[in-house]
Chains A and B, each alone.
Chain A
Amino acid sequence: MQVVSFRLAQEEYAIEIIRVQEIILIGEVTSLPQTPPYIKGVINLRSTVIPIVDLRLRFGLPQEGVTDETRIMVVNVAGKTIGLIVDAVSEVLRIAQEQISPPPPTVAGLEQNYLVGLAKLDERLLILLDIEQIILDDDQPELEQAAAIGV
């Protein structure tokens, strides 16, 4: 399968290319109240308003400032269009099925059900994400609680 790999903190992740609609530069994000912290806000993508998820915050990583490499990956998940802020988008790769090994219980603080598997490419290790799971599962109780109490 073909994947788009991207960097987040020190790890390299990848999601299926069919999920990715486009990759854009980060612009002005209008912040949105009453949402979990990882929702950075909304942007105007050619007359459509799409929410922006900071994947760092989503994965519980410390927040980083915007750099030259910071990008928004616009993905299509369950009929919705969502932007993901990532540290950098690396490349498009082709991965054979046999290169993928099942995910270990946790990787970089992520739970197993968010992962498709690990792909070993020479020296690199790609973490394949189940982006659908990550986006749709954003109503986690603890996050909701946090949002509700205003943390």
Chain B
Amino acid sequence: MESGIASCFDDEFMGTILGEFLDESQGYLTDLNDNLLVLDELVSALDDTESPQVDLELLNTMFRAAHSMKGLSAMLQLDDINRLTHNIENVFDAARNNSLSIRREVVDVMFQAFDRLTGMVSLLSEPGGEELPCDEIITEIQMLLDDIGVADSHSNRDEPADESQGPAEDSPAHADGAKLERAPEETAATDDDSLPLAGETTSDPTMEESSLEDDPFADVTDEIDLSDKYLSIFLEESETSLDALSEVMLADDHEVLIDRALVLCHQVKGAAATVRLNRVAKLSHFMEDLLQQLRDDGHAITTDVVDAVIFSIDSLRTYLQMVKNDSVSTDTLAEAYRQLKHAHAVVFSTETGTGPEAGTDNRAAAKDDDGTPAQEPEPTEVARADHLTDSERSRAAAAAPSGQSALLGMVLFEDQLPLVELKAKLVIERLTAMGDLFYCDPDESQLEETTGMTCLVFGVASECHPEFVRRQIDLAGVVDIKLETVAPPQPDGSPANSSVESASPLGAAAAADSSDASSPNSATAPPADSSARPSAAPSHDSETGRGADTCPVTSASPVPEPAAPVAAPPAAAVAQSSAQSAAPLAGSPRPPEKAPATNRAQNKPAETIRVDIDRLDQLMNLAGQLVINKARFGQISGKLKGLSKHRQGSASLTNIEDSLSRLLADTSELGERSSGDLVYVQSVNCYAEQIRADLEIVRGDMTQLFEARNLLNDLSEAVHQLDRVSDGIQTSVMDTRMVPIGPLFGRFKRVIRDITRMNGKEIQLVIRGEKTELDKRMIDELGDPLIHMIRNSADHGIESPEEREAAGKPRQGTVTLDAFHRGNRILIQVRDNGKGLDSEKIREKAIAKGIISAADAERLTPQQTYQLIWEPGFSTAEQITEVSGRGMGMDIVRSKIEQISGTVELDSQVGIGTTITIKLPLTMAILPSLLTVVSGSVYAVPVESVVEIVRFKRTELVTVHGHKAARVRGRVVSVVELSEVLEWNEAPHSDEPFPEDITLVIIGSEESELALSVDDLLGEEDIVIKSLAENFRNVSGIAGASILGDGRVSLILDVSALLDLVCSSKPSGNAEVARAGLSLSGN
């Protein structure tokens, strides 16, 4: 089957899940790494003989990470990863059972295993590398486990005895012969030996149970204990698979597509098992088996099968929907199972001929062993029917009207009872007659569609005595009735929660808890012997009410689920306290099902969608274009407005008309008086008439112009709107790409650890600003340069402990990683407090490598000398260590950073340390800027760098040490011309060389300021940054280019670089040295 499935994976399909897998496993790997580092610290703190007290939660987390990866890899049939994660999982499992103590060698082996695992995973994303064998590691792990005799028991843990014993041992409930609601299913899913992969995947929850023997909630928790994130991924994935599956089943040629269907079933199964929706897993498993058998035996897919499968799909879908909305109620999974079973029976009973029959039988027998036997659904039902489940209680309780006492009940019908819907209807009717039926599952309206129902859960608010109610609804065909009274969630403290079946005082536990919910300790408080109702539970707090209501009931049940007695208090505590404070104590179980469920109610799983980053890039690009176009619109509408200001137009038209009329009157009068020139007068008259007619037309046009002017207002409004929308798009697109830098920084903990282990230095890594968000692309690109810098710092920068002590420093060196915003930039710093760079050594080396001539080198200041390390082929390490110094050095670091429009600076002081600062633009795309005109060209100054804008008379400028300066509100700011600061090939010349007034844009970053003299200001605009390095290279003083609305290119000034240029050239009378430094750092 394994190979069958594997062959069904087509590339595209594979690619999709593989993507999911890679995404998810990154998270798990990070978790593992972080936690391993914590373990490592713990272990290092102790000497070898001691075994550390490890936080159980930590081990649980690691176990879960390994476990989840195992599940995922099984789903993808990544056998090696599967085996490896399986072994890793075993180690943590053993550790949390206290059968394996976490010692140094364990951590080391785990690190090795982790590295191998990381390697294997990354191999998946970038195929073509060498295959990484994992057998060696696995053997090592096995040896570890063998030492303590864990290996065997765990490698054989698939045996069914394991699970059934596990819970039974510590749960007296089992002795009563009561069955867990889901236990049979789990058992079934677990002992699946013939399907290695499925077995692996599904067996785990139970394995966890057995390992958590002191944890009686294991059975409850196994349903969903994944974070919403994973749950939503699962839901999404399964929904897609189910959709595809039903499509396949509905297709005419589903025979051909059976392979595809198998894959889909398998996928759903694997995914469900991963998030521990074992019932879903089981149903899909069965579906898969059925299809598989059909395919293997060459059977036709009958309509029965199709119907059954479709029904199953629908049930699953409904169920998933309920999980999603956190409103799990009675589902039809069991019914679906029966249908499938039936279809199976039909198909294989019509079989004739002994050969295939025998084969089928064998397989069926095998299936029985597998735990998917025919009797399966029945025990499930019986088990299910035995009590109200927690979730049912909580839902019913939630629906209960406040202030009234209510009865919760469950009516069990005979299995396969004919016309069960009618009976149920009757029950509902009778209940309605007795009181307010506030809860009913399945709903009355659903009854029609529900077939094969075996139980009805209801909640009724009634004053009637429970016994009366019971008699009323005890109809023929009803097997059993369970009734429980639920007190109204009122703060009156009256004992309200008693079970009719067996009123017991166990509710006290919850009572104790809810009254002291804020203290997480209360979660472990033993049940107090009092039946007091949780009086502190406020009735308006549905969550509290729910927690309080349900828990006592749970504990009061005569045959509680093994999880119940102790599970209830923490559940209540968890439900009441906020999600975070629910952090389980060491030794306490993971939050039981209840808690995540209630939390999820507030916090529905965030729906996520995976997007190819190229598409985001494309979107970003388009948003950029939109911004440019928006600017163009703005300009046009501005110009139009300027053009249509001639309001006198119509007035003068009227004047003209008036004059014309007067002219006409005058001429006619003239004609009457002097008869001689009549012809002449008449022709004048004629022209005047003509003019009048033309004027009429002009007037018409004028009116239109007026209308156009009104439209213009509309236009500017629309442009305004466009403005806002495009801004919104811009920010949203930007936000989608922003991710915190924390995980990237986190990776370096490991780097530092490895270095310290290797070179015997003591180094502490301090991480700051991990919440700083950066564009995803930048984060991706930063990994390599940062790792290089950190290695340099740790390997070359930090001295050995002895050296440090000799220098009067603490033995432990510190490497600090910091990320923060500074103005419109994000700065990332790698700081060490090591020995600093040796400028003399750098100089020698640079000369030796021919990077700079000896004469030039002499003239460089130490700071300029340091910049030489950015030159290609430079590596100062005298001794090339394993970690760093392969000579591929800092020039690659710099070019990497320049690729993302960043700059990198280095500052070092001998004996104090070295700081490398990476400056990155806030976004890779859009920058609000002040557009200025200098000598006819437009330059953009990032608005964030503009301190103020002042107008000056040229005569008001002063001269300080031969430099122009301006006195602005009491401070002196040096004034520079762009043509002076930067080197131009063709000096930009102004048409008006010395205008009377000059505009000064005062720019500054951090502490220094500079007044840039400009000819004109065009205003503020959002511009799209185009990298110069993309097609050319970075130019010092210029941060990039931008395309203006009219298509011209404007340069974006790099304010901090300008400041540096000015400052570096100013104090030195020796401009050449400064420029030499400039050319080195600039090019």
A-side interface residues toward B, CB under 8 Å?
28, 30-37, 39-44, 47-51, 80-82, 139, 144-145, 147-150
Nearest residue, chain A, Cβ from B1024:
A47
Contact of A31 with B985 in the complex, beta carbons under 8 Å: yes
Q: Closest CB-CB distance, B926 to chain A, in whole Å?
A: 14
Q: Closest CB-CB distance, B507 to chain A, in whole Å?
A: 71
Contact of A51 with B1036 in the complex, beta carbons under 8 Å: no
Total B residues in contact with A, Cβ cutoff 8 Å:
34
With A33-B983, A47-B1043, A149-B1072 given, is the CB distance from A42 to B1082 under 8 Å? no
- Which residues of chain B are within 8 angstroms of A145 by Cβ–Cβ distance? 1079
Contact of B1078 with A49 in the complex, beta carbons under 8 Å: no
Contact of B625 with A47 in the complex, beta carbons under 8 Å: yes
Task: For the complex of A and B, list the 8 residue pairs with the smallest distance between their C-beta atoms, beginning with the closest.
Answer: A33-B982, A148-B1079, A51-B1032, A30-B1049, A49-B1026, A49-B1041, A37-B985, A80-B1031
Contact of B1026 with A48 in the complex, beta carbons under 8 Å: yes
Contact of A81 with B1031 in the complex, beta carbons under 8 Å: yes
Q: Other CB < 8 Å A-B pairs besides A32-B1028, A80-B1032, A139-B1083, 11 of them?
A: A32-B1051, A33-B978, A34-B1035, A43-B1049, A48-B1031, A49-B1027, A49-B1030, A49-B1043, A80-B1030, A147-B983, A147-B1079
Contact of A35 with B1035 in the complex, beta carbons under 8 Å: yes
Per the bound structure, the CA–CA distance linking A43 and B1031 in Å amounts to 11
Q: Is B984 an interface residue (CB 8 A)?
A: yes
29 CB < 8 A contacts A-B? A30-B1041, A30-B1048, A30-B1049, A31-B937, A31-B984, A32-B1038, A32-B1051, A33-B984, A33-B1038, A34-B982, A34-B1035, A34-B1037, A34-B1038, A40-B985, A42-B1041, A42-B1049, A44-B1049, A48-B1026, A49-B1027, A51-B1028, A80-B1030, A80-B1031, A81-B1031, A82-B1032, A145-B1079, A147-B1079, A148-B1075, A148-B1078, A149-B1072
Q: Is B404 an interface residue (CB 8 A)?
A: no
Q: Closest CB-CB distance, B755 to chain A, in whole Å?
A: 35
Per the bound structure, the CA–CA distance linking A144 and B1030 in Å amounts to 21
- Which residues of chain B are within 8 angstroms of A51 by Cβ–Cβ distance? 1028, 1031-1032
- Which residues of chain B are within 8 angstroms of A44 by Cβ–Cβ distance? 1043, 1047-1049
Q: Is B1076 an interface residue (CB 8 A)?
A: yes
B522-558 interface (Cβ within 8 A of A): none
Nearest residue, chain A, Cβ from B621:
A47
Q: Is B999 an interface residue (CB 8 A)?
A: no
Contact of B1038 with A49 in the complex, beta carbons under 8 Å: no
With A44-B1047, A47-B1043, A149-B1072 given, is the CB distance from A34 to B1036 under 8 Å? yes
Nearest residue, chain A, Cβ from B986:
A31
Q: Closest CB-CB distance, B691 to chain A, in whole Å?
A: 46
Q: Is B587 an interface residue (CB 8 A)?
A: no
Nearest residue, chain B, Cβ from A33:
B982
Q: Is B35 an interface residue (CB 8 A)?
A: no
When the two chains form the complex, which single residue of A33, A47, A80, A148 contacts B1037, counting CB atoms closer than 8 Å?
A33
Q: Closest CB-CB distance, B792 to chain A, in whole Å?
A: 25
Per the bound structure, the CA–CA distance linking A44 and B1026 in Å amounts to 10
Per the bound structure, the CA–CA distance linking A42 and B1033 in Å amounts to 12
- Which residues of chain A are within 8 angstroms of B1031 by Cβ–Cβ distance? 48-51, 80-82
Per the bound structure, the CA–CA distance linking A122 and B1039 in Å amounts to 50
Nearest residue, chain A, Cβ from B981:
A33
- Which residues of chain A are within 8 angstroms of B1076 by Cβ–Cβ distance? 148
Q: Is B119 an interface residue (CB 8 A)?
A: no
Q: Closest CB-CB distance, B1070 to chain A, in whole Å?
A: 13
Nearest residue, chain B, Cβ from A150:
B983
B1064-1083 interface (Cβ within 8 A of A): 1072, 1075-1076, 1078-1079, 1082-1083
Per the bound structure, the CA–CA distance linking A49 and B1030 in Å amounts to 8
- Which residues of chain B are within 8 angstroms of A81 by Cβ–Cβ distance? 1031
Contact of B1051 with A30 in the complex, beta carbons under 8 Å: yes
Contact of A144 with B1049 in the complex, beta carbons under 8 Å: no
Q: What are the interface flags for B973-992 relative to A under an 8 Å C-beta threshold, 1 for contact and 0 otherwise?
A: 00000100011111010000
Q: Closest CB-CB distance, A37 to chain B, in whole Å?
A: 5
- Which residues of chain A are within 8 angstroms of B937 by Cβ–Cβ distance? 30-31
Q: Is B504 an interface residue (CB 8 A)?
A: no
Q: Is B318 an interface residue (CB 8 A)?
A: no
B1012-1060 interface (Cβ within 8 A of A): 1026-1028, 1030-1032, 1035-1038, 1041, 1043, 1047-1051
Q: Closest CB-CB distance, A25 to chain B, in whole Å?
A: 14
Per the bound structure, the CA–CA distance linking A77 and B343 in Å amounts to 66
Select the residue from A39, A81, A150 with max chain B CB neighbours within 10 A.
A150
Contact of A49 with B983 in the complex, beta carbons under 8 Å: no
Per the bound structure, the CA–CA distance linking A34 and B978 in Å amounts to 12
- Which residues of chain A are within 8 angstroms of B1032 by Cβ–Cβ distance? 39, 42, 50-51, 80, 82
Contact of B1049 with A49 in the complex, beta carbons under 8 Å: yes
- Which residues of chain B are within 8 angstroms of A82 by Cβ–Cβ distance? 1031-1032
Per the bound structure, the CA–CA distance linking A43 and B1041 in Å amounts to 10
Q: Closest CB-CB distance, B1026 to chain A, in whole Å?
A: 4
